[in-house]
Structure 1
């Protein structure tokens, strides 16, 4: 017969298990810490059930069964969910005020993406940030700036410093134009607007910027609505009486804790997160409105026109929202922006590789073509923006 665990050991196990649960949840010591936490909770409930009697024991048995099922589901979700294949040096993106996140300090951060199916390298590069904490761009050191705002597409995820969209544009001007890359992975129209509202980069931009550029697609609506899983610390905007109003961070206090707790669950990420990302009419309306407000502020505060290279989404993405790619582009054009179709559908149909395999970010080729599109739009619609000797 199995030997029964002594009563005093069962008592001692309770605080030990509670301490272990708190340690795992607070420190996140390994990737599958949430599964470990659930297993520890299961052990704690079983221990209490052994000590309890009557209805309390029955309740503990029910709770133990529930947590056991959650543990199995969490483990299964973790097994079938693709593991992270991106490795970037620590400090390249940390919690920052105003924008939500950004590089910890100037320097070079090594980035690598690996195909989990065969461990082959998809890309391997370095992200270099200058003293202003911006992706390094070689251009004229001074003069009226052409400023690129945006997300990972503009920042240049997966490509070398010399292969980013802003750098390609600077090269097209012969290096005579002052070009800045204010983009960063995960940013969206809410950072574009908030940077201007708070004058975050005014000293870097200078007193007389010539042009702002913001590449976008309808999936930015997942970010302006704070639905994207990484946007907990991003600026939050809302529509009030038709006006775009800043409200703080996407999540704060208990809301932030709950979102981060859920976000660390493989089960939540597998079952709930994809559904949560789906956009509705109000999400797209807010996205377009934030961009319209940014275009207006660029003109009123900085005297700078805005070019918006737009990437078309499959029509299914916007289905049921009341919006189409064309209606979004028209709204942005009506707001005063110069909108260009930068989807590169013809190039892709002709066999060009416009996206990094598996990763999905633009290839160096795509960046070069889009840079040429931007310069052509400037030459046609904004004469005088480029320095005469930069043409």
Structure 2
């Protein structure tokens, strides 16, 4: 009996050591074989507080805060930039205020719209606002890691109204990427308390289903996803289904309808394809959106040479739009609205 216990303990110890070594490898501690380089951000809070929980959106930046962010790929600094969050908890446009504002342009989305990697005055919303010369106030409702489900929850709960301060929205802009298929289906690996939507089997309509997880399961998942090993296994093995693509399309469609019914104006959807391996998923998303009657602007319509020259527009290793791309997007969107 004692021998069996010893053998069991040896096996158990070996498993623990193997798991710890795998964790250290995927964390980039060891350099044997092919070194693992992870993207990591060093966030320094200059004023206010860091990210906070949100009862509707899952999480959100803290109001009246500012941050300095250094983003690394392995040990190499990719970029550094600052973020300023206004009194409404939204990314601030560093452009002159104007007493002549009567109209608003509402920007929705994730880090692409929020402006991960660029300064406050370099985001597409800031460029749009500056280009309008006082005609439009651009309001950036996006945040890092969000998906279209946050946009829909925001609109369903009228969260866009308070920052308007009496301005009339004339246009809404939502940027989406293929990864949003995973985000709306609770397969992101970080958005554990975000708003969940389901397609009803009885009516085939979209229904709100509360948060992705309750407080206990959400915290358990959050704990395990701190592990580099767990994240590596998860991202290597996650799959999407036709139902996930349909869910994304219906979430975008519902946001499109709410905006147009509420404000009677234009709502543009911009669809990105970041890499060739996403081509099939990209095509499925585009097909579903068109099937539901959602007008889509493909990124190749804005940046015709994007596919063969993506390095010109995207931050290396990080895959977020650089400041040059934000400038082109902001200018393109303003000219589009004027037509």
What TM-score range do you get, normalising by the shorter chain?
A: 0.7 to 0.9
1:178 matches 2:137: yes
Instruction: Go from structure 1 to structure 2 and tell me whether the alpha carbon gap of 1:104 and 1:68 turns closer, same or farther (over 3 Å shift).
Output: farther
1:283 matches 2:238: no
Q: Which runs of 5+ in 1 are unaligned?
A: 1-53, 381-391
- Could you tell me which of 60, 66, 71 is aligned with 1:102? 60
- Could you tell me which of 219, 224, 228 is aligned with 2:179? 219
- Could you tell me which of 81, 85, 96 is aligned with 2:40? 85
1:148 matches 2:107: yes
Instruction: Go from structure 1 to structure 2 and tell me whether the alpha carbon gap of 1:97 and 1:351 turns closer, same or farther (over 3 Å shift).
Output: closer
The CA distance in 2 between the partners of 1:208 and 1:177, in whole Å, is 10
Q: Which runs of 5+ in 2 are unaligned?
A: 28-36
Q: Give the SS at the match of 1:218.
A: coil
Q: What is the match of residue 231 of structure 2?
A: 269
Contact 2:52 2:62 in 1 (8 A): yes
Larger radius of gyration: 1
1:134 matches 2:90: yes
| Greater displacement, 302-311 / 122-131 | 302-311
Aligned residues: 319
Structure 1 or 2: more strand by fraction: 2
Instruction: Go from structure 1 to structure 2 and tell me whether the alpha carbon gap of 1:293 and 1:172 turns closer, same or farther (over 3 Å shift).
Output: same
Contact 1:209 1:303 in 2 (8 A): no
Structure 1 or 2: more helix by fraction: 1
Q: Give the SS at the match of 2:305.
A: helix
Contact 1:312 1:325 in 2 (8 A): no
Instruction: Go from structure 1 to structure 2 and tell me whether the alpha carbon gap of 1:106 and 1:329 turns closer, same or farther (over 3 Å shift).
Output: same
Contact 2:104 2:167 in 1 (8 A): no
Alignment of 1:1-391 (within 5 A): 54=1, 58=4, 61-62=7-8, 65-66=11-12, 68-81=14-27, 82-90=37-45, 91-116=49-74, 119-137=75-93, 138=95, 139-140=97-98, 142-205=101-164, 206=166, 208-240=168-200, 241-276=203-238, 278-312=239-273, 314=275, 316-317=277-278, 319=280, 323-324=283-284, 326-331=286-291, 334-335=293-294, 337=295, 339-343=296-300, 344-347=303-306, 349=308, 353-380=312-339
Contact 1:77 1:270 in 2 (8 A): no
Q: How far off is 1:219 after superposition?
A: 1.5
The CA distance in 2 between the partners of 1:169 and 1:352, in whole Å, is 23
The CA distance in 1 between the partners of 2:223 and 2:136, in whole Å, is 46
Instruction: Go from structure 1 to structure 2 and tell me whether the alpha carbon gap of 1:85 and 1:249 turns closer, same or farther (over 3 Å shift).
Output: same
The CA distance in 2 between the partners of 1:297 and 1:371, in whole Å, is 24
Q: How far off is 1:245 after superposition?
A: 0.8
TM-score, normalization by structure 2: 0.85
The CA distance in 1 between the partners of 2:274 and 2:25, in whole Å, is 31
Give the root-mean-square deviation of aligned CA atoms: 2.5
Instruction: Go from structure 1 to structure 2 and tell me whether the alpha carbon gap of 1:350 and 1:197 turns closer, same or farther (over 3 Å shift).
Output: closer
Q: Give the SS at the match of 2:268.
A: strand
Q: What is the match of residue 383 of structure 1?
A: none
Cα deviation 1:40-79 (Å, max 9, x = unaligned): xxxxxxxxxxxxxx48x84685266235314422322332
